[in-house]
Amino acid sequence: MTDLHVYDTTLRDGAQQEGLNLSVSDKLAIAAHLDELGVGYIEGGWPGANPKDTEFFARAQHELRLQNATLAAFGATRRVGGNAADDPLVRALVDSGASVVTLVAKSHAGHVERALRTTLAENLEMIRDTVSFLRGEGRRVFLDAEHFFDGYAVDRAYALEAVRAAVEAGAEVVALCDTNGGMLPNQVADVVADVLDATSARLGIHCHNDTGCAVANSMAAVDAGATHVQGTVNGYGERTGNADLLTVVSNLQIKRGLALVEEPRLREATRIAHSISEITNVPPYSRQPYVGASAFAHKAGLHASAIKVDPDLYQHTDPTLVGNDMRMLVSDMAGRASIELKGRELGFDLAGDTELLTRVLTKVKDLELRGYTFDAADASFELLLRREVVGEAAHEYFEVESWRVITDARGDENALSEATVKVVAGGERVVATGEGNGPVNALDHALRQALSPAYPELDKLELIDFRVRILDAAHGTDAVTRVLIETSDGSTSWETVGVAGNIIEASWQALVDGVTYGLVRAGVPVR
C-alpha cells in the first residue's frame, strides 16, 4: 500500500517476554495471524542459534502460505576475527530460506569494546563483511543497529560510521534500536533527523516501552523520516515490552491517514490480538489501546444518553475500524449480522428472522459474560446455533447420568487417572471405564468407549489439543476455568469450549461438545 514497512518481531523479540514460551506450532499459528493482519514482514526467529527456530523456518517453507508478508530471519554479524562465508551462524541464515535477513550489529562504541571485546574497526568490518556476503547470496538485508540511541549519545561519529558501513555494503534498511528503552520522543526525533541528514540510509525504528513511550517514540521517528517500523503484537517483549505494533499501525493509519494495511484487515485487529493471546497464553490486557476489551467501554451514568445520541462526542475514533465495539465488554461477537453470516455458512437463511437472531445473540452474550469464548470455539457455537434453529432433539445423541475421575499417586510414582462414565445411548444404559495419564484423557477414553456400541463412528476421533485459561486470577483455583479442546477426525479438526468453577467439569463440557459435533459433522443420525 505505502512504502512504509510494517515489520513484526513478535516471534523473535516478543518471545523474550518473561513467562512467554512458544513452540514451533505456536509460532506457525501466530505467523498466519500476522499475515492475515497484513504486516509486511514477519521476523520468525534466529535460525542456527536455537534448534526450535531452525525448525520453524524449515516447516514454514511448507506449512505457511503467506499472502502478504515476507518472512525475515534474524541473526548477528559474523564472529570477531572470522569471515562471514565460513561462519556457521551466518550460513544458517542463508539456509533458512528466508529472502530477508535482519542482522543485529553493534553501533555503540562502549558495547563494542566492553561487551563484544573487539576494536571499533573490526566491528565495522564485521558489518561490511556479513552484509556483503548475504547480498552476494541474493538476500535482502536489514540491519538492526543495537543500542543505537545510547551509542549516539556517547559517540555520535562511530554510531554514524556503523550506519554508513551497513548501507555501503548493501543493507536496504538500518533500524535504529532503543534497545534499553530509555528514550523520550523528542530525543528520538532529533537523532533520526540527524542520522537521515548525515547518511544516505533508509531508516527504521525499534522501540521498547521502558519510559512508557514506545508508541510515541515510534511515531516520532516516522514523523522525522523513518520508513520502517518494528514492533510486536500486544506489545510483547522483554522487560516492559516492545512498541505495540497494533497501536502504532492504528495511530498511523487512523490518525495520520497513512495506508499501511488494507482497511478490511485492520478491522480484524481486535480478533487477531485476542487469538494470538490465546496462543501465547498471556491474558489479554483489557486497557490495551484500540483492541483492549475496555478500550471503548464506557461506565454507564452521566453520559449514557448523550453517548446514545452522539457517540462521536465520547470516543476518539470509530471502534469498528479496528474491529472493536463500544459495547465490547458485553460480547466479543459483532452482533446479529455475524450470526446471520455464520448461519448462511452453515446453510441456514436467517436473514428475516430477527426474533431468532436476537435470541441467539442474547444467549451468546450471556455465555460470554460467564467466560465462554466462541471466537476460538467454532464448533460449540455451531452446536448452539443448530439447537436454536433445528431444535434440541436432533443433537441429543446420548444422555449423561454421571461421571467420575480419580487421580492418585504413591510417593514418587507417576500419577494415574481412571474415569467412569455412565450414559444412555442407542436405548442402552452403558457404564464404561477409561484410564489415562491425565484426568481429561481418562474421561475422553471412558466417554468414547461408552458411546462406541451405539456410535462406532467415534472410534476414529482423537483429542489433539487442550488449553486452559483461568479467567479471574484474583481468586486462584476458586476462579472460573475455561477449557478449549480440539478434536480431530483424521482429516479436519474442530474446537469446543467449556467453562466451570471446576477445571474437570469445564473439560467434560468441552469433551461432550467435541464428540457431539463429530457426530453432527459426519451426518450420523440420533440412535
Q: Which is nearer to a copy of itself, 79 or 467 (CB)?
A: 467
Q: Assess 324 for contact with a copy of itself (CB under 8 A).
A: no
Is 265:37 a contact under the CB 8 Å cutoff?
yes
Residue 468 beta carbon to a copy of itself: minimum distance, rounded to whole angstroms: 4
- Select from 83, 132, 180, 227 the one that contacts a copy of itself (CB under 8 A): 180
- CB burial of residue 498 (10 Å; 0-12, 13-18, 19+): buried
The contact mask relative to a copy of itself for 282-321 (x = CB under 8 A, - = no) is -x-xxxxxx-xxxxxxxxx--x--x--xx--xxxxx----
Is 74:134 a contact under the CB 8 Å cutoff?
no
Q: Assess 424 for contact with a copy of itself (CB under 8 A).
A: no
Is 447:421 a contact under the CB 8 Å cutoff?
yes
User: If you write DSSP's letter for every residue of 334-368 in order, what string do you get?
Assistant: --HHHHHHHHHHTT---TT-HHHHHHHHHHHHHHH
Q: Assess 486 for contact with a copy of itself (CB under 8 A).
A: yes
Q: Which is nearer to a copy of itself, 139 or 147 (CB)?
A: 147
Residue 259 beta carbon to a copy of itself: minimum distance, rounded to whole angstroms: 18
- CB burial of residue 18 (10 Å; 0-12, 13-18, 19+): exposed
> CB under 8 A: which stretch of 32-40, 133-141, 458-466, 516-524 binds a copy of itself?
458-466
> CB under 8 A: which stretch of 84-92, 136-144, 243-251, 447-455 binds a copy of itself?
243-251
- Select from 439, 455, 498, 512 the one that contacts a copy of itself (CB under 8 A): 439
Q: Assess 462 for contact with a copy of itself (CB under 8 A).
A: yes
Nearest to 469 by CA among 478, 482, 457, 456: 482
- CB burial of residue 35 (10 Å; 0-12, 13-18, 19+): buried
- Select from 67, 355, 393, 477 the one that contacts a copy of itself (CB under 8 A): 477
Partnered with residue 81 across adjacent β-strands are none
> CB under 8 A: which stretch of 35-43, 157-165, 242-250, 425-433 binds a copy of itself?
242-250
- Residues of span 268-287 touching a copy of itself by CB under 8 A: 281, 283, 285-287
Residue 345 beta carbon to a copy of itself: minimum distance, rounded to whole angstroms: 15
- Residue 234 is classified by DSSP as G
User: If you write DSSP's letter for every residue of 446-488 in order, what string do you get?
Assistant: HHHHHHTTT-GGGGG-EEEEEEEEES-GGGGGGS-EEEEEEEE
- Select from 438, 489, 520, 521 the one that contacts a copy of itself (CB under 8 A): 438
Is 403:419 a contact under the CB 8 Å cutoff?
yes
- Residues of span 182-241 touching a copy of itself by CB under 8 A: 182, 184-186, 209-217, 219-220, 223, 235, 238-241
Residue 382 to residue 360: CA distance in whole angstroms = 11
Residue 282 beta carbon to a copy of itself: minimum distance, rounded to whole angstroms: 9
- Residues of span 4-63 touching a copy of itself by CB under 8 A: 16-19, 21, 23, 25-26
- Select from 481, 510, 513, 516 the one that contacts a copy of itself (CB under 8 A): 481
Residue 136 beta carbon to a copy of itself: minimum distance, rounded to whole angstroms: 27
Nearest to 443 by CA among 377, 384, 371, 498: 498
Residue 113 beta carbon to a copy of itself: minimum distance, rounded to whole angstroms: 10
Residue 217 to residue 238: CA distance in whole angstroms = 17
Instruction: Read off the C-alpha cell for 503.
Output: 477445571
- Residues of span 374-403 touching a copy of itself by CB under 8 A: 375-376, 400-403
Instruction: Read off the C-alpha cell for 263.
Output: 482497511
Q: Which is nearer to a copy of itself, 86 or 401 (CB)?
A: 401
Q: Which is nearer to a copy of itself, 256 or 527 (CB)?
A: 256
Q: Which is nearer to a copy of itself, 362 or 437 (CB)?
A: 437
Q: Assess 404 for contact with a copy of itself (CB under 8 A).
A: yes
Nearby residues of 110 by Cβ (< 8 Å), 6 or more positions away: 151, 154, 155
- Residues of span 495-524 touching a copy of itself by CB under 8 A: 500-505, 508
